[in-house]
Structure 1
């Protein structure tokens, strides 16, 4: 009987494990459905069907992976043996038939069954993963709530500066207060044709419209009214037209500025409603390749590939490449402009294009020494143009690199190592010419010799960066054990330390010069590698690049000082030494400096009026005029920062409409005005001194010291 109870307990634990596993998969599926549904809701569509479809799909996938139904009683018994030592690893005996057990196993089985029946098994090992899944679900719910708040704030306050997703009717969830006479409102937003967006209808006064779009209002009232107008802040007002019963009113206008508006029914004003304008930004162009400065060395293909990405909120209409070829030097330079087009057709007006253009430089009549300047220009459907920076592609002139101009003159004599790279290039070119007339062994030997010359040149330049020459590695030095050098610590340290990387030795150059020297050594390494592999043709591009970097270093080491001459004004001999000074007068410069107008004077006066309203809530006529002027300034700030000043703007309107101001509204407006007022800058002034010249302070100081 005890054995049957143990078997039932094992089977109950198996069912509990399966239930926990299914619940865990269900929570993870709900976690995935919430995330995907929230992202689709905020970024693309307000339809919740995507989240509902995600839940069963993910749930089925997790069940097929975990397969909780495959859990067996033997695995549960193995788990019990591992977690509970008092079972003496005999739980699996309860699952075997009685007739298959020997007498010793029967005794152990009955003992294990009695222990298992009274054993209190914790749910934590079974529910551990379930608790983790529940914890992740709580985090997902909090993140989705925060994501909703962020998207809501962006759509309300930051929408005029960036494109946002188009809101469907009824999705503007800000609480609106409407006048009691209004039974319903229907606002139709018609975007401009170039946007490609469809017309949409909403039933809220707060609206979001594309720049230049048309907005029409249809307001229905529950009673007949005489007049309805829509008043814009600093943009005038429009009057609505009515039907014969004066219960349905309509008007339309074009939106070109963000701001706020109010609905006026027979003189009664509503709350402020915002107008969010979505601006059409210019196309954004990103060139992935080539780099802004590209050199084509000797031996490289004279081609350049332009990879560009174009992005626009409403679509790209056209894009071209404006290229200019510069030929010649100095005053004899000539320019020729080309307009190149991409192979892509822009009839579809897609918002993103990945473009590629291969330019064969010889087709533009470019030769070594010429330069290509180009930029990419794009136009969107609203005919807004944008362009990139200018990119430069230069074909290296090998004749100029190998020329001896400026080297043979006595004024510009450089050390030998500044000309060694040129000699290596000349010898490599001669070796390629002699390739067919000499044997393979001799060709390889000459190529290896050039590699040795390249190595020696590289080691020579490496000394400028503090590198160690190969001839100094392992070289014998004076014996430090000489008795005469017993106390010479410097000599001993020099023998047993490696000081070739001293910062003082390697710090003679500026960082950009050192970086260019390192790049030169890298190119020499590559050229030496190809020469040692008997490939002088492959080594030439690296050698040319190293030579070009060296010539750039030569130009940077030069200094030029222009000669100047002084040309005095011509003197009139007849007026010399005459002593006539009547026409020499003292120069007088008159300038009237007016103090700049204080733009915050209106707000300062309004703060004084609000302070008076705290003691006397009745608003005087002069104070009413002051607050109305401040109301205009406050409305401008509310258009730029509605989250800070919109509540104060509503409170100011209530103060102006009621005969006695409410203290809460006064405090709200005053706090907003204090935020708008800048802190006054401290003016320079002399430090005040006491009449006794600090004697009293010195007296008390000495008195305290005497009392110690």
Structure 2
């Protein structure tokens, strides 16, 4: 019996592994098909990439699920969870009879009989494979729907060059051969290219040359651009070869006209040359150099352009002084790198040595980068600012000894710590090591006391009572050992949270926290006997404190009001005879609706759907609508060109095609602006006007 149970569990194990691998294969196939469809939507991709994606995804899923690690113990655990009749004893079938006790043998008999009722393929095994099959079905539907999105009229306004050249074109029967040569502008660095298609995708400013050969001699041939600009082709000796040349400066469309017969509309798309792009990696837009820091700023940037960068410069301005005595000096700083190769991307660096720019404490440096491409287009960055801390102004007493300063001793304490630190550094050579370390530790202790003072503003605990009872020494008396109220009053906090223990605004609180952080860092280096490294943190803490002091002040502007003098003889007389009511008369003429023709054309197209015919007056209206669509197509040929072609077919045919009508209607609806919602009156109350009748009858009685 035990061998039958073990055989059943091993069989379930094989099925478990098989269905798990099957689910992974189906799920990998679904994901690979979906990725291949999305890739084909953007560009044509070989199916071998889909096979490679399938293999990679399958390997990843197999390593995630690891079906090779499924053991009979795993199967018995699964059976115990899903089949309660096994009484969580399925693993007894895997043990040998000699290893079982009497009680286990009795339980094994029940397990063996219960295993016979378990199906060969439990439902949970198939569930994963079914879910993967549903995902595969959804992936097939989406993959089949994506190509339809690509073929819609408004899916991709500007198709790529490969798609434009591969699209089949309808040409006039007289044309036997076309050679269209496109010469890009010189600044692009691209060579001339030839094509045998009328559709053009060229760089802005390119020159196009048409060489058209005909099967028979024709009288005249011309090119009509955007329905209004016509150029004539120059014939050869036998009038079977014709040439023309034109500059391509803007998008649009054109037609070939041979002896009065026009061809289909051919699309013209231009590739615009973008201005250079500048990306500054370092430094940040605003830099503040504190005392003790090196006056050096490293600038790293990347300049890119479509066809090449011709130059890049740094424009810097140094501001010295303050108030009306401020002076400016401008610099043009090159990067020190040659741009003769006109590469499309440059990685540039420059190190600002502020003393070489004659900058002193309190001065500011403003700079920006300007780049120029091969087409003489320029672009520039935002202005970056570098400020050097003015230690003299920071340590001055200006603005401190006045009535608005509420905490002057705290500011003087931080300033005194800086002065003591600088004095200690100057006398370092004359002091012994022990004396120097002792004085440095004393300054660190002063910094700690100052930090604890400011910590009170944020609700931090004092350190004076740590380890002792302090003012709660009454608890040490024997009669107060059982006084729970006194113990709670001494040992618990009187506030909920140190973050919310003050009435400061969030910005002030954040700056005060930053100040405490700088004090912590200064104290740390002072305790480590490194006053030179502590000095920048001390200066930054003092600068933050003075900034807090300025924010706490209230400024009241001095204003003076001089009222108009009153004439006492007219005061309180009530004479309004010389006061006239303002009268403003304006004649407002309703403006003409620029989209009236298109709106009427939509109504006419709806009628044509029903009647399948139209009159000469209707044809004139359609021609006017076609002119407006042509203007749109000249600016956006990829969007409106197919609609103009459909409108031509509607005008030329007495029984237009329904698909052409739908295509033109969609283009017109895209052109029309959205109607703004006007304010409307409220709907009538559900009392059917009874309240209004009641109000009118009430007025009669009065």
| Residue pair 1:306, 1:357 contacting (<8 A) in 2 also | yes
Distance 1:365 1:687, change over 3 A: closer
Structure 1 CA distance, aligned partners of 2:617 and 2:651?
Answer: 12
2:535 aligns to what? Answer: 540
Query: What is the CA-CA distance between 1:238 and the residue it aligns to?
Result: 1.9
| 1:209 equivalenced with 2:202 (yes/no) | yes
Query: What is the CA-CA distance between 1:174 and the residue it aligns to?
Result: 2.4
Question: Paired residue for 2:603, among 591, 594, 608?
Answer: 608
Distance 1:148 1:384, change over 3 A: farther
1:448 aligns to what? Answer: 441
Structure 1 CA distance, aligned partners of 2:148 and 2:614?
Answer: 43
| 1:686 equivalenced with 2:681 (yes/no) | yes
Structure 2 CA distance, aligned partners of 1:579 and 1:463?
Answer: 65
Query: What is the CA-CA distance between 1:283 and the residue it aligns to?
Result: 0.6
Query: What is the CA-CA distance between 1:686 and the residue it aligns to?
Result: 3.3
Greater CA deviation, 262-271 or 210-219?
262-271
| 1:326 equivalenced with 2:325 (yes/no) | no
Paired residues for 1:374-523 under 5 Å: 374-412=367-405, 414-471=407-464, 492=488, 495-496=491-492, 499=495, 501-502=497-498, 504-506=500-502, 508-509=504-505, 511-523=506-518
SS of 1:419 mapped into structure 2: helix
Greater CA deviation, 311-320 or 259-268?
259-268
| Residue pair 2:460, 2:498 contacting (<8 A) in 1 also | no
| Residue pair 2:252, 2:637 contacting (<8 A) in 1 also | no
Number of aligned residue pairs: 595
1:157 aligns to what? Answer: 157
Distance 1:215 1:425, change over 3 A: same
After superposition, the C-alpha distances for 1:602-624 in whole angstroms (9 at most, x for unaligned) are 21111122233234444323222
Query: What is the CA-CA distance between 1:642 and the residue it aligns to?
Result: 5.3
| Residue pair 1:467, 1:500 contacting (<8 A) in 2 also | no
2:546 aligns to what? Answer: 551
Query: What is the CA-CA distance between 1:325 and the residue it aligns to?
Result: 0.8
Greater CA deviation, 681-690 or 553-562?
681-690
Greater CA deviation, 605-614 or 228-237?
228-237
Query: What is the CA-CA distance between 1:680 and the residue it aligns to?
Result: 3.5
SS of 1:294 mapped into structure 2: strand
Distance 1:490 1:669, change over 3 A: farther
| 1:371 equivalenced with 2:333 (yes/no) | no
Greater CA deviation, 615-624 or 448-457?
615-624
1:128 aligns to what? Answer: none
Structure 2 CA distance, aligned partners of 1:270 and 1:226?
Answer: 16
SS of 1:172 mapped into structure 2: helix
Query: What is the CA-CA distance between 1:689 and the residue it aligns to?
Result: 3.9
SS of 1:157 mapped into structure 2: coil
Distance 1:487 1:215, change over 3 A: farther
Structure 2 CA distance, aligned partners of 1:541 and 1:288?
Answer: 25
2:697 aligns to what? Answer: none
2:657 aligns to what? Answer: 662
After superposition, the C-alpha distances for 1:286-316 in whole angstroms (9 at most, x for unaligned) are 1111111111111122122211110111111
1:188 aligns to what? Answer: 181
Structure 1 CA distance, aligned partners of 2:608 and 2:148?
Answer: 40
Distance 1:450 1:609, change over 3 A: same
Question: Paired residue for 1:360, among 353, 373, 379?
Answer: 353
Query: What is the CA-CA distance between 1:361 and the residue it aligns to?
Result: 1.3
Paired residues for 1:593-604 under 5 Å: 593-604=588-599
Distance 1:153 1:298, change over 3 A: farther
| Residue pair 1:634, 1:649 contacting (<8 A) in 2 also | yes
Structure 2 CA distance, aligned partners of 1:588 and 1:486?
Answer: 90
Paired residues for 1:555-574 under 5 Å: 555-568=550-563
Query: What is the CA-CA distance between 1:637 and the residue it aligns to?
Result: 3.7
| 1:527 equivalenced with 2:512 (yes/no) | no
Paired residues for 1:280-291 under 5 Å: 280-291=273-284
| Residue pair 1:407, 1:414 contacting (<8 A) in 2 also | no
In the alignment, structure 1 segments of 5+ residues that lack a partner are 1-23, 63-78, 89-131, 697-708
Query: What is the CA-CA distance between 1:679 and the residue it aligns to?
Result: 4.7
1:309 aligns to what? Answer: 302
Query: What is the CA-CA distance between 1:406 and the residue it aligns to?
Result: 1.4
Distance 1:491 1:636, change over 3 A: farther
Distance 1:606 1:437, change over 3 A: same
SS of 2:512 mapped into structure 1: helix
After superposition, the C-alpha distances for 1:40-61 in whole angstroms (9 at most, x for unaligned) are xx99xx999xx99xx9xx99xx
Query: What is the CA-CA distance between 1:351 and the residue it aligns to?
Result: 0.7
| Residue pair 1:258, 1:275 contacting (<8 A) in 2 also | yes
Query: What is the CA-CA distance between 1:228 and the residue it aligns to?
Result: 2.5
| Residue pair 2:225, 2:253 contacting (<8 A) in 1 also | yes
Query: What is the CA-CA distance between 1:359 and the residue it aligns to?
Result: 1.9
| Residue pair 1:324, 1:373 contacting (<8 A) in 2 also | yes
| Residue pair 2:227, 2:254 contacting (<8 A) in 1 also | no
CA RMSD of aligned residues (A): 5.2
Instruction: Name which structure has the greater RCO, CA cutoff 8 Å, separation 6+.
Output: 2
Query: What is the CA-CA distance between 1:178 and the residue it aligns to?
Result: 2.3
Question: Paired residue for 1:297, among 283, 287, 290?
Answer: 290
After superposition, the C-alpha distances for 1:18-41 in whole angstroms (9 at most, x for unaligned) are xxxxxx9xx99xx9xx99xx99xx
| 1:350 equivalenced with 2:343 (yes/no) | yes
SS of 2:250 mapped into structure 1: coil
Structure 1 CA distance, aligned partners of 2:400 and 2:582?
Answer: 57
Query: What is the CA-CA distance between 1:344 and the residue it aligns to?
Result: 0.4
After superposition, the C-alpha distances for 1:100-132 in whole angstroms (9 at most, x for unaligned) are xxxxxxxxxxxxxxxxxxxxxxxxxxxxxxxx9
Greater CA deviation, 463-472 or 182-191?
463-472
Greater CA deviation, 634-643 or 287-296?
634-643
Query: What is the CA-CA distance between 1:413 and the residue it aligns to?
Result: 5.1
Structure 1 CA distance, aligned partners of 2:333 and 2:153?
Answer: 44
Question: Paired residue for 1:257, among 240, 250, 254?
Answer: 250
